[in-house]
A and B are shown apart, each in its own frame.
Chain A
Amino acid sequence: MRPATLLIRNHLFELNTAVKLIHEQPKIKVLLISAFSIGWLASLSWLFYAGFDFLYKLGGAAFFLVPRLFTLFFMGLGFMLMLSGAVTGYANLFQTPEVRRLLSWPIPMRDLFYYSLVKSTLMSSWAFFFIIIPFVGAFGVYRDWSMLMLGWSVCFSLPFVMLCSGLGVLLMVVVVRWIPRGRTLGLLGVLALVFATYAAATYVRNLQANSSEDMMVLVNFVPGLQLASFPLMPNSWMAQGILAFSNKDWARGGVYLVLLSSSVFVLFLFIARLGSWIYPATLQKQSMGSNALALQASLPSRSLQTLFPGNSTIRAFGIKDSLIFLRDPSQWTQFLIFFGLLALYFLNLGSLGYNELDSVWSNLIAFLNMFSLSAVMSSLSARFVFPQMSLESRMLWMVGLAPTSLGRLMINKFILSGLTLCIIGSGLAAVSNSMLDIASSSLVLSRVLMPAVAFALAGMSTGLGAMFMEIGPKTPAQILSGYGGTLNLILTLLTVILLVLIPGIISHVLLIETTLVFPQAQVTFLTCLYIVVVSMIAGGLPLWMGYRTLRNRDY
């Protein structure tokens, strides 16, 4: 048996064992994940169903719109898969201890790359079935089609996710291998990237110029639709194939399935061959390249010196944390992807015409945006803020002995994470609000809301992180998967719901109700007070409890 096959089989065994050992996991965690999965599938299916219902009630336009919507949906999914594949691939190929261990074994480099490629594809793509199934399922149910549609959707999805995730891994390896590291060369690399983006945009514009009149009307409403419908795009084959099977046009659907599968097969072989060819050199560059550090401590150092001139402990941890964060691509890419996508969406609100909507609708969208922003902040605070105290426990030989208390260290962590979340959250909310041009009362609420959410999330995650501090060499994933991590995730999500949902409803009522019992200014003030009180309790209480725990425990 080839080493790659052996490794993949071993990985599958490990996955199987992990599934069998679910009963050993904290019950609250299993319950939460199950409830979330079911809730997610149900609500997303309902949402897609309502969307299809809306489209088909428009009349004949649905027959023109739906196939294009399918292509657009799978294109978006494809790009997300590529991103996910790139991030997971980077961690698998260059960062895991497993790779370092395998390198010392008599395994050909080609097999090592092939194994990492398959592993990254598996890891990065399984979650996407939780988007594909509700979308296709809702369409099948709405059109009263056989549920077998889900079956052949999976048949199409497998090669599709392999292709997109594989391309993501390959692109990442190419970028890591050939992007120059020096400042001047790096700048040239960025310029080349800007030029490539411009060329791609020009190409898409040219495609639009040759389109039919109906298509042009649609393209003006839905950016990227023309590219998604391009006949050589795999997402187009996937969408056409699923719809053809659903219409019992087996021959046409079959052609698309064969086309997709064979292309993926050839491309996967190509990716594996090319990747294994450049992988050794890339690995070499990765292990050597860190000696020439481009990023120095001067920028975070200067900023923190200005912000906290008299506090050397905050400066010490601020500089240390920001350098570690910026030097770890698996950390900053997560920030960049989540907040970058939100920023792109917020910046495009104007071009989507949302600012021209009725004030009730634009206000609703503004609060939905703040909710999604807070939800992202909540998951990132669970991922990055909660494990911080446990991760610092590895440095207790130094940090625990410094002339500062662990309680003070916890407060420092809270200040730095709270400040970061506040700047990002308030900044992005301001972009969204300005694009939507929302009413002044909602603007006031938003300006109070985002710092409050940042305070509550940072306080809760830091405080619970201190209360459930785990001593020892544990990874963030191990820390997060414990009881404390799960509890933190639930409580931060509840806090977001409490903090954003209620002010959102109040703000909506303020706009639709013309005869209010209380004056608008008074209602706005009371809502602000509610936000402040809830955030103080949600953030302050765990902080206080964490402080007490740190003071009374042994290490």
Chain B
Amino acid sequence: MIQLQHLHKHYGQLHAVNDLCLEVPSGELFCFLGPNGAGKTTSIKMMTGLVKPDSGSIHLAGIDAGKEPVLARSQLGYIPDMPFIYERLTPMEFLLFTGDLYQMPREEVREKAPRMLEIFGMMDRAHMLNRDLSHGMRQRIIYAATLMHEPKVLLVDEPFIGLDPHSIRLIKDLLREHTRRGMTVLMTTHILAIAEEIGDRIGIIDQGKLVACGTLDELNTATPGMGKLEDLFLELTLN
């Protein structure tokens, strides 16, 4: 699970994240929405440990990320919006690299890597160089690498940019399946229809503050007259 308590982050005069409190239980797919520059990526980066909060605490899978960052990170998977991968490695080599990096036993990595490539339909491209793969294929490798060490918490930033319908379906199914198995998923997206479709709960952040949070029904009940998530989102983030 994810627990954020009173998180603050300033960049000079800009209050990027302002007293953010959030709890996402195990087995939930939480959609984190907000306009550009609202503080989504900063919040995610604080959860990953890449950015240090000015104040507040972060617990991931019950571990205090401030006190035990290495242990917390071992439970975490993160997929940014435009991730870089080593161009001159093959998908198989990239998975072996990831396994070593996460200190998984070599035998386990050797057994798991082909299975992950099989799941993502990449076996026939396992020994091609990454630079020769399309954007969608690269995204699949990134998912395979991130999920290989079976993180308990998964943070996904804009997962559907530039993907074809097959890849979008694959990733949606995968996120749903992993959530069913107990993984906590926090996903940011600008595609509100997808948030409505797959999100168990939805949170909207604006100017660093969480301005709405709940299931789609709860949000609709709390704001009568707003028929669609799009209307609610535009209303809450107008300024």
The chain A residues found within 8 Å of chain B, CB to CB, are 287, 290-291, 293, 297, 312-313, 315-316, 319-320, 323-324, 327-328, 394-405, 473, 554-555
Interface pair B50/A400, CB less than 8 Å apart: yes
Q: Which residues of B contact A290 (CB under 8 A)?
A: 128-129, 131-132
Q: Which residues of B contact A394 (CB under 8 A)?
A: 84
Q: Which residues of A contact B106 (CB under 8 A)?
A: 312
What's the Cα separation between A287 and B132 when bound, in Å?
A: 8
Interface pair A397/B129, CB less than 8 Å apart: no
- Chain B minimum-CB-distance residue to A331: B88
- What would 19 A/B residue contacts be, using CB atoms closer than 8 Å? A290-B128, A291-B132, A312-B103, A313-B103, A316-B100, A319-B93, A323-B89, A324-B88, A327-B88, A327-B129, A394-B84, A395-B85, A397-B83, A400-B50, A401-B48, A401-B49, A401-B78, A403-B71, A554-B50
Interface pair A401/B76, CB less than 8 Å apart: yes
- A-B pairs with lowest CB-CB distance, top 10: A316-B100, A403-B74, A394-B84, A555-B50, A327-B88, A312-B100, A402-B101, A397-B80, A554-B51, A324-B88
Q: Nearest-CB distance from A388 to chain B (Å)? A: 13
Q: Which residues of A contact B84 (CB under 8 A)?
A: 394-395, 397, 473
A293/B129 contact (C-beta < 8 A), A400-B50, A404-B70 known: yes
CB neighbors of A among B143-179 (8 A): 145-146
- Chain A minimum-CB-distance residue to B106: A312
What's the Cα separation between A323 and B131 when bound, in Å?
A: 14
- Chain B minimum-CB-distance residue to A473: B84
- Chain B minimum-CB-distance residue to A326: B88
Q: Which residues of B contact A555 (CB under 8 A)?
A: 45, 50-51
A398/B128 contact (C-beta < 8 A), A297-B93, A312-B103 known: no
What's the Cα separation between A185 and B14 when bound, in Å?
A: 62
Q: How large is the interface on B (under 10, 10 to 19, 20 to 34, 35 or more residues)?
A: 35 or more
Q: Which residues of A contact B215 (CB under 8 A)?
A: none
Interface pair A293/B74, CB less than 8 Å apart: no
Q: Which secondary structure dominates chain B's binding surface?
A: mixed
Q: Which residues of B contact A327 (CB under 8 A)?
A: 88, 129
Known: A290-B131, A397-B83. 4 other contacts (CB 8 A): A291-B128, A312-B106, A316-B97, A402-B73
Q: Which residues of A contact B127 (CB under 8 A)?
A: 291, 293
What's the Cα separation between A291 and B125 when bound, in Å?
A: 9
Q: Nearest-CB distance from B8 to chain A (Å)? A: 14
Q: Nearest-CB distance from A403 to chain B (Å)? A: 4
The chain B residues found within 8 Å of chain A, CB to CB, are 45, 48-52, 69-71, 73-74, 76-80, 83-86, 88-90, 93, 96-98, 100-104, 106, 127-129, 131-132, 145-146
Q: Which residues of A contact B103 (CB under 8 A)?
A: 312-313, 403-404
- Chain B minimum-CB-distance residue to A301: B96
Q: Which residues of A contact B145 (CB under 8 A)?
A: 398
What's the Cα separation between A261 and B78 when bound, in Å?
A: 61
Q: Which residues of B contact A291 (CB under 8 A)?
A: 127-129, 132
Q: Nearest-CB distance from A409 to chain B (Å)? A: 9
Q: Nearest-CB distance from B172 to chain A (Å)? A: 21
Interface pair A395/B100, CB less than 8 Å apart: no
Q: Nearest-CB distance from B213 to chain A (Å)? A: 25
What's the Cα separation between A402 and B75 when bound, in Å?
A: 9
- Chain A minimum-CB-distance residue to B74: A403
Q: Which residues of B contact A473 (CB under 8 A)?
A: 84
Q: Which residues of A contact B49 (CB under 8 A)?
A: 400-401
Q: Which residues of A contact B83 (CB under 8 A)?
A: 397-398
What's the Cα separation between A297 and B110 when bound, in Å?
A: 13
Q: Nearest-CB distance from A302 to chain B (Å)? A: 12
What's the Cα separation between A291 and B98 when bound, in Å?
A: 22
- Chain B minimum-CB-distance residue to A409: B101
What's the Cα separation between A473 and B80 when bound, in Å?
A: 14
A316/B132 contact (C-beta < 8 A), A397-B79, A397-B80, A401-B49 known: no
Interface pair B101/A405, CB less than 8 Å apart: no
What's the Cα separation between A396 and B51 when bound, in Å?
A: 11
Interface pair B100/A313, CB less than 8 Å apart: yes
What's the Cα separation between A426 and B237 when bound, in Å?
A: 64
Q: Nearest-CB distance from B59 to chain A (Å)? A: 16
Interface pair B50/A396, CB less than 8 Å apart: yes
Q: Nearest-CB distance from B181 to chain A (Å)? A: 21
Q: Nearest-CB distance from B99 to chain A (Å)? A: 8
What's the Cα separation between A402 and B103 when bound, in Å?
A: 9
Interface pair A403/B70, CB less than 8 Å apart: yes
Interface pair A395/B52, CB less than 8 Å apart: no
- Chain A minimum-CB-distance residue to B45: A555
What's the Cα separation between A193 and B51 when bound, in Å?
A: 54
Q: Which residues of B contact A297 (CB under 8 A)?
A: 93, 96
What's the Cα separation between A554 and B49 when bound, in Å?
A: 9
